[in-house]
Amino acid sequence: MPLPDRFADLHCHPSFKAVLMKGRGLDPQRSAWHALKLGAEPGKTRDRVFMSQSCLSQLHAGRVNLVVAPVYGLERAFTRSNILQLVAALAEKIDHRFIQDIKHGKHAYVDLMRMDLNALNAFPTDPNNGGQHARVLSSIAEFDPDSSDVQVILALEGGHNFYGRQANGDDDVSLDTIHHNLDEFKQPGGPRALYLTPTHLARNVFGNHCYGVKMIRDQEFFPNGHGLTPMGRDLIARALDTSDGRRRILIDIKHMSLQMRIDFYRMRWDLPGGDRIPILCSHAGVTGISQGQVFRYVDGWYKPLFQEHINVRYIKPKGIDGCEFNPWSINLYDEDIYQIIASRGIIGLSLDERILGSGRVAMERMSPLEAFKPSRYQMTFLDDRETEDGEVDVERTVKQLCATLLHVVRIGTHAPNADPWDHVCLGSDYDGLINAVNPAPTAESMGELVRAMAAALPPMAQRAGIAIGDVEEKLHRFFFGNMLRFLRQHFN
């Protein structure tokens, strides 16, 4: 079997940066086809993070023709950052005034989300190349496997997207407003979303989030809550509800704090038909450890004076071939992997070097209400994490990605009546302000990533004692088949 030559992505942001561009209305510069370049040094981490990675033209060039694109309103905490202001100054195409308007609360989050959706829909054809097309699907039945079009399914990243705006400029977080804005995606005839990520990177009313923005020190990014709130339970129940013809929106556990994830697992069993509702994590890394093993890797922690969070310093867990994992709680513990695969859900693996465990692990900010609390979901699957080290002639970050995939498979074998190779796919998080793995800094480079993984996986799997069989067939599943099958089951 030849290597994959077409690709699917469970989580990327083709239109996010288009919303920040100068211009209004149908300005081609604000098209989701347009690639933003800083024009400085493409090798620099800053430029790799802020340049376009998965605009529609890049997806088309990389043959990524089935994507789930979350629509999203940029949290105001980002706009208070000097980093974003610096990027706005460096890239003359970014609308600095618009960023200031977001900072001062002149736009409701629901309106920012709709701007993202509009940017995705505004140009079904590339204004610079009439032969390239994109379309948004309302059902996987509309997917054409023979088409070269970029075929898009919507998702919703962050419950804050449903906030309205009161007359005095404050956020409107009333249940009536939340319900009204969520129902836009649940009613037949409206836009349809595959999944909802209730939390994102800043505090919201639905639950405690995981720390995920190390480059910006804004209090809104530091977790200070405890698990799932009553409003979060209401939001999740309403998203999953299928009564009166409403369309189900699945729940993505990415960005939920560990306690919020545990609360959701418990809640799921109490819902009608809960055992048949799959759990998904759209753009994940793994900690490489069980919840009960966390203390082995805590190198120290302290609570800063006058702050609502604690700082935790870690030692990185070891994985296959000397690879290391990032033990931040934003990544999946072994118990999370088990829960997802046992539910017949799906895990999208991120291409973010930091999430995959490359480089030095920074301190994690955690809520003192949650830190290191025992859980009845605790399990121990593996005692010895290290395997024989070996040499594989590929980029180190590719080894990190392969080690993450193999860890998911190894833990997933404990889930009953499930083949873990069927429940993992690509969830790149391109254009989510990530530093992507070196062979694939953008979606245009999928071919290079496939070839590197095909070289790395067999020897790494052998040293880990994991049967891989036909590596080409496994990569076809990872890069396309698993996501398509999941969509046929849950987006029909």
Beta-bridge mates of residue 450: none
Closest among 204, 274, 192 to 241, alpha carbons compared: 274
pLDDT above 60 for 25: no
Note the pLDDT tens digit of each residue in 221-253: 999 999 999 999 999 999 999 998 899 999 999
CATH of the domain at 121: 3.20.20.140
Buried b (16+ CB within 10 A) or exposed e, 435-455: bbbbbbbbbbbbbbbbebbbb
Q: Which pTM does this prediction carry?
A: 0.94
**Helix intervals (H) in 31-174:** 45-50, 56-61, 76-79, 82-90, 96-103, 109-121
The reported pLDDT for the residue numbered 38 is 61
Q: With respect to residue 187, please indicate whether it lies within any of the assigned structural domains.
A: yes
The reported pLDDT for the residue numbered 395 is 78
Least confident interval from 71-75, 125-129, 449-453: 125-129
Q: With respect to residue 204, please indicate whether it lies within any of the assigned structural domains.
A: yes
pLDDT above 70 for 40: no
How far apart (Å, rounded) are the C-alpha atoms in residues 48 and 429?
A: 13
The reported pLDDT for the residue numbered 39 is 52
The reported pLDDT for the residue numbered 43 is 54
Helix, coil or strand: residue 318: strand
Note the pLDDT tens digit of each residue in 368-393: 999 866 555 455 554 444 444 444 44
Least confident interval from 68-77, 207-216, 282-291, 479-488: 207-216
Q: Which domain holds residue 352?
A: 8-490
Mean pLDDT, range 350-362, rounded to an integer: 93
Backbone φ/ψ region at 102: left (φ over 0), alpha (ψ -120 to 50), beta: alpha
Determine the distance from the C-alpha atom of residue 355 to the mean position of all C-alpha atoms in its chain, rounded to a whole number: 11
Least confident interval from 193-202, 387-396, 406-415, 468-477: 387-396
Annotate 197-248 with DSSP letters as a single string: ES--SS-BTTB-B----TT---GGGS----SB-HHHHHHHHHHH--GGGPPP
For residue 287, what pLDDT band results from cuts at 50, 70 and 90?
Answer: very high
The reported pLDDT for the residue numbered 390 is 46
- Number of domain units in the chain: 1
Average model confidence (pLDDT) for the chain? 90
Higher pLDDT, 18 or 338: 338
Helix, coil or strand: residue 163: coil
- Cβ partners under 8 Å of residue 424, min gap 6: 346, 347, 348, 349, 405, 408, 409, 412, 478, 482
Q: With respect to residue 3, please indicate whether it lies within any of the assigned structural domains.
A: no
The 3-state secondary structure of 377-444, one letter per residue:
CCCCCCCCCCCCCCCCCCCHHHHHHHHHHHHHHHHHCCCCCCCHHHCEEECCCECCCCCECCCCCCHH
Mean pLDDT, range 386-401, rounded to an integer: 65
The reported pLDDT for the residue numbered 115 is 92
The reported pLDDT for the residue numbered 303 is 86
Note the pLDDT tens digit of each residue in 156-173: 999 999 999 998 889 999
The reported pLDDT for the residue numbered 85 is 63
Q: With respect to residue 85, please indicate whether it lies within any of the assigned structural domains.
A: yes
Helix, coil or strand: residue 468: coil
